Amino acid sequence: MVDGRAPTSGGSEDDGTALDPSDTGGTSQSGTTEIGSGGAGGNSQNDSQDGSADVSIAIDSPSLGGSGGATLGSGGVTALGGVAQDSASVNTGGTSGTSGTGGSTTITIEDASVPISCASPIVPDNGNPPDNGVVTDFSHWDPANPVWGRSANLSGTLFKNNGSGATIGDPKVEGNPPGMHLAGAIPVSSTGGGGLRFSRCATVTSFNYVRFTYYGGAPGCKVDLLIHTYSQSTGGGGCRLDGGGNCNDFPLLTGVVDVTTAASLPTLVTKPLASFKATNGSWSTADAEQVVGIEWRFTNTSTASPCSVDFTVTGVAFLP
């Protein structure tokens, strides 16, 4: 279960907090939706990205399981619960993330086969046992479908994205503690990554922070954290490119954590939602009422060689 305590020292940031992983020994499961490199029939639109070069990304949106889907197994991999926070290292590592500004990344997204519903947004309440604010710690991972979360609350799939020449593979649920593992190479001036696609809208209006645990890294890359909102999502979302809309302008935090040196131990990261920004404005109540996904996007900052991504994330939650 994710640590639901408010961050220390006023709770503004909590980077580089090393954790002792539980001996879970998660098994490798694929269960992903591919986001390809130039899917047919896509449209171009602007995305908020700080200092990015022009790239083209194609995303195949997954078929998402709604509340009427198959019951998810509760006997999967061991939860993150019980992992102790190393209080001696709180607020000592990493640098502060920077709110995103308008960039020039071009993204092409194909229509989702099942629209996301925002009629009745729900508060994330996953974890093992259920824990208010938890999106997933992968204790409720169903490799057969494959879906994370609980049918009684929030569930969804994994996705990847690849810019020009990037080779991020299908995300897998594996590692210790188990989490979404992203791996591949990103060439100069390109991007790639992956994340969690929600089956329905979530409301996080009662929360002020987003938290996740990661290990691994991506030398030569920076990583941004994007919170996908319904009004800016194409396909199954509420944004339509054929009407001339500016879609996929998601709130983001650039350089959310320093990945230039790989973290050998699980490391806790907590960031205030108020620090996220899109080109159309700062984080707002309207954004908090319509969250439909979370993405970790890597950008190659080298001028000479590809960067190698080997990054695992788990314990994703919103905190008061």
* C-alpha span between 225 and 102 (Å, rounded): 15
Which structure tokens are listed for 182? 């992203």
**In this predicted structure, what is the pLDDT of residue 277?**
95
* Upstream peptide bond of 146 is cis (omega within 30 degrees of 0): yes
Which residues does the chain have with pLDDT short of 50? 1-14, 20-113
| pLDDT score recorded for residue 36 | 35
The structural domains of the chain, with segments of one domain joined by +, span 13-319
99: part of which helix (H) or strand (E)? strand 98-99
For the chain, state the CA radius of gyration: 18
Q: How far apart are CA 248 and CA 240, in angstroms?
A: 10
Which amino acid, residue 248?
N
- Tell me the whole-structure pTM to 2 decimals: 0.69
Q: Would the CA dihedral through 33, 39, 41, 43 be positive or negative?
A: positive
Question: Is CATH 2.60.120.260 the right assignment for the domain spanning 13-319?
Answer: yes
Burial 197-209 (b: 16+ CB within 10 A, else e): bbbbbbbbeebbb
Give the residue among 190, 191, 173 at the shortest CA–CA distance from 182: 173
Please tell me the predicted confidence (pLDDT) of residue 12. Answer: 36
Q: What is the pLDDT of residue 67?
A: 35
Query: What HEC string does 122-134 produce?
Result: ECCCCCCCCCCCE
**Which pairing describes strands 105-109 and 56-59: parallel, antiparallel, or unpaired?**
parallel
Q: What pLDDT score was predicted for residue 206?
A: 96
